[in-house]
Amino acid sequence: MIERLLALLIAGTVLSACQSGIAGRSAVTDDPLTAPGFARGDDVVDPLIVGDRLLAAGEAELALDSYVRAAAGSGLTPEIKGAMAGANIKLGRLGQAERLLRDVVAVEPRNGEAWNNLGVALLEQGKHGEALRVFETAFALQPSPEILDNLRIAGAKIENGGYGSQKDGAFTLTRRINGVYDLNAPDGQFP
């Protein structure tokens, strides 16, 4: 019993001596043992911008983490939900992207970009009829060549029926600068 108490006393003394060295150390840049921690203040870059840059660089998982940090700071706004959906589309998490995008279009029904991205998620899941309707809505709100191409691809998939060739998996997904996703068909497969 006394030996245990003595061992505890010695351990406490040693630990408190170590702690005073750590507590006296401040976070200065010339100390290699100190991690920089989180940036604070007015010069912090918006996590939403960081996420967009990471997504453009092909780092969808890191972008999603950045969007979560943005949501922690300002809540799950439709803009953040749309960005998270874009990262989920890149990661192949189409169900999650669909849920997020449905939330966005429920709050912002005139958001053509969100409608287009919802159409991409639906088309990739094989929901061709609903995807066509969603692309029509997106094109009515934001007539762009990318959305028109997606609309044509969805229409062609419906015309070709549910028993397409093995080339159906050869579609590629491209993110445009403005955040709109474009579905690219292989050459000669669709108009």
pTM for this entry? 0.66
Residues of the chain with pLDDT > 90, as a percent, come to: 57
Q: What are the structure tokens assigned to 51, written together? A: 């996420």
Domain annotation covers residue 191: no
Domain annotation covers residue 90: yes
Domain annotation covers residue 20: no
What range does the domain containing 123 cover?
45-184
Domain annotation covers residue 32: no
Domain annotation covers residue 71: yes
pLDDT attached to residue 94: 95
Asked if the model's pLDDT at residue 31 lies above 90, the reply is: no
Q: Are 27 and 39 in contact (CB under 8 A)?
A: no
How would DSSP label each residue in 7-44? Answer: HHHHHHHHHHHHHHHHHH----TT-TTS------STTP
More confident residue, 2 or 167: 2
pLDDT in tens, 35-81: 565 666 666 788 999 999 999 999 999 999 999 999 998 899 999 99
> How many whole angstroms separate alpha carbon 69 and alpha carbon 55?
15
> How many whole angstroms separate alpha carbon 112 and alpha carbon 106?
12
CATH label of the domain that carries residue 127: 1.25.40.10
